[in-house]
Amino acid sequence: DTGVSQNPRHKITKRGQNVTFRCDPISEHNRLYWYRQTLGQGPEFLTYFQNEAQLEKSRLLSDRFSAERPKGSFSTLEIQRTEQGDSAMYLCASLVGDLLFRETQYFGPGTRLLVL
């Protein structure tokens, strides 16, 4: 257990439905990341927050995807009008940088999404 939690752990939905995932990072971590991982591939970056500000978004993040981190604490990732290609593991990671550049991203267990 890294201290980063994600809910739900599994989600099955029908194509066209909206889904929302939640990530609770380690409390003192000011940076939060979302990644997506498909079978057999490494995680791919989606978006990044520093405190409540969303500072970077990947081109993978289409306009059907939106992420928020309203008070700089937990974050949500919403997918609207889901498509079968959205089926993947969605990973959240948090970190606090330090002078040793450990840049240790602590990952949550992920939310596995299956779109039927």
Partner 1 sequence: DAKTTQPPSMDCAEGRAANLPCNHSTISGNEYVYWYRQIHSQGPQYIIHGLKNNETNEMASLIITEDRKSSTLILPHATLRDTAVYYCIVRDPLGSARQLTFGSGTQLTVLP
Binding site for partner 1 (CB under 8 A): 2, 4, 31, 33, 35, 40-45, 48, 55-56, 58, 91, 93, 97, 101-110
Q: Which is nearer to partner 1, 2 or 80 (CB)?
A: 2
Q: Which is nearer to partner 1, 46 or 115 (CB)?
A: 46
Burial (CB < 10 A; 0-12, 13-18, 19+), residue 28, is: exposed
83 phi, psi to nearest 5 deg = -120, 160
Q: How many residues does the chain have?
A: 116
Q: How far apart are CB 72 and partner 1 at their closest, in Å?
A: 16
Q: How far apart are CB 76 and partner 1 at their closest, in Å?
A: 18
Q: How far apart are CB 110 and partner 1 at their closest, in Å?
A: 5
Q: What does the alpha-carbon distance between residue 48 and residue 67 come to, in Å, rounded to a whole number?
A: 9
